């Protein structure tokens, strides 16, 4: 049972030390930086955005959980010692330094510190006891005052950084809304483009079918023409033979016509002398030659 409070005491001591604060501050800063990086990756739809957000959020959770074990710091009314911290009036730097040195000298001497907001002195209010303060305590006081000044400067820087981060977050939110609108418009345009491409594909398919049918018709016509050409080329020898036979037939018909003509002349000669005595037909030399030729 005693180990648990001892562990908590060690953890509080470590977090109160300078090394513990430095480590915790680094994890604060790094965790916040990775949270911003993961949010940026998520907005731009870059890979590993979810993983970065998960790791950074877990880191921030651990840091905030551990920071719950920090010891609460003691608060001092430093405005009573340094009136310029109130912000009521601007105090020159030289006057602030002179007041700090006077405070240190009075602390070393053990004299009461006089609180004043202006150059006029008021009723003395002892800040420290009348006993003599050692040099070590004075040195600790000086270091505390220096740390207070550094802390005030850091708080001012943190305030400016916080305002800048707030503005950046607002700009990121605005950019994200614009990106969402553009993404919606882009999706609408892509859908219309897809519909147009689908219509073009249907028209293209119809054209392909029509062209295919036309190509088939042209192929049939070409095959018919090739067949006619082959028939024509095959009919050329037959045409030559037919021409020769036609010429030979014409020649024979001519000769037959000549025979018929001579026969008719012979009959005509015999029919012109009906009372003439029957004498044997004496052919003329021309007729004899024709008879011999026949």
Token output for 45: 């739809």
Position 281 scores a pLDDT of 45
What are the φ and ψ backbone dihedral angles of 262, each rounded to 5 degrees? Answer: -65, -35
Alpha carbons 180 and 159: distance in angstroms, whole number: 31
3-state secondary structure at position 258: helix
Q: Domain segments of the chain: what residues? A: 1-73
Alpha carbons 189 and 209: distance in angstroms, whole number: 30
How many other C-beta atoms can be found within 10 angstroms of the C-beta atom of residue 216? 10
pTM, whole model, 2 decimals?
0.28
Alpha carbons 27 and 62: distance in angstroms, whole number: 9
Over residues 88-117, the mean pLDDT reads: 59
Residues in the chain: 294
How many other C-beta atoms can be found within 10 angstroms of the C-beta atom of residue 115? 16
- The secondary element (H helix, E strand) that includes residue 162 is helix 135-272
What is the chain's mean pLDDT, rounded?
74
159 CB-side CA count, 13 A:
6
pLDDT in tens, 162-184: 777 788 878 887 777 777 777 78
When comparing pLDDT for 257 and 153, which is higher?
257
Token output for 247: 């010429």
Q: Which among 123, 117, 73 has a CA at the least distance from the CA of 99?
A: 117
pLDDT in tens, 43-65: 888 888 888 888 888 888 888 88
> Which pLDDT band, with edges at 50, 70 and 90, does 117 fall under?
very low
pLDDT at residue 115 is higher than 50: no
CB 106 within 8 A of CB 115: no
193 CB-side CA count, 13 A:
6
CB 12 within 8 A of CB 71: yes
CB 69 within 8 A of CB 5: no
- Supply the Cα-derived Rg of the chain in whole angstroms: 65
Position 92 scores a pLDDT of 61
When comparing pLDDT for 268 and 276, which is higher?
268
């Amino acid at each position: 049972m005693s180990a648990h409070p001892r562990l908590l005491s060690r953890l509080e001591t470590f977090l109160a030390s300078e090394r513990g604060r430095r480590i915790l501050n680094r994890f604060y800063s790094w965790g916040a930086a990775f949270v911003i990086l993961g949010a940026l990756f998520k907005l731009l739809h870059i890979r590993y955005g979810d993983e970065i957000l998960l790791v950074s959020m877990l880191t921030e959770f651990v840091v905030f959980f551990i920071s719950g074990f920090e010891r609460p710091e003691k608060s001092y009314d430093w405005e009573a010692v340094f009136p310029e911290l109130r912000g009521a009036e601007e105090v020159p730097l030289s006057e602030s330094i002179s007041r700090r040195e006077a405070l240190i000298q009075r602390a070393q001497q053990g004299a009461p510190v006089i609180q004043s907001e202006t150059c006029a002195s008021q009723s003395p209010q002892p800040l420290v006891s009348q006993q003599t303060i050692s040099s070590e305590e004075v040195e600790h006081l000086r270091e505390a005052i220096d740390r207070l000044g550094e802390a005030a400067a850091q708080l001012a820087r943190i305030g400016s950084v916080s305002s800048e981060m707030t503005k950046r977050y607002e700009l990121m939110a605005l950019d994200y809304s614009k990106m969402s609108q553009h993404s919606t418009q882009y999706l609408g345009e892509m859908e219309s483009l897809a519909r147009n491409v689908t219509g073009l594909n249907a028209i293209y398919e119809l054209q392909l079918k029509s062209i295919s049918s036309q190509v088939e018709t042209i192929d049939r016509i070409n095959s018919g023409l090739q067949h006619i050409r082959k028939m024509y080329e095959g009919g050329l020898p037959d045409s030559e033979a037919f021409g020769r036979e036609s010429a030979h037939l014409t020649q024979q018909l001519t000769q037959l016509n000549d025979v018929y003509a001579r026969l008719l002349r012979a009959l005509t000669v015999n029919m012109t002398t009906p009372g003439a005595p029957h004498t044997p037909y004496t052919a003329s030399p021309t007729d004899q030659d024709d008879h011999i030729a026949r």
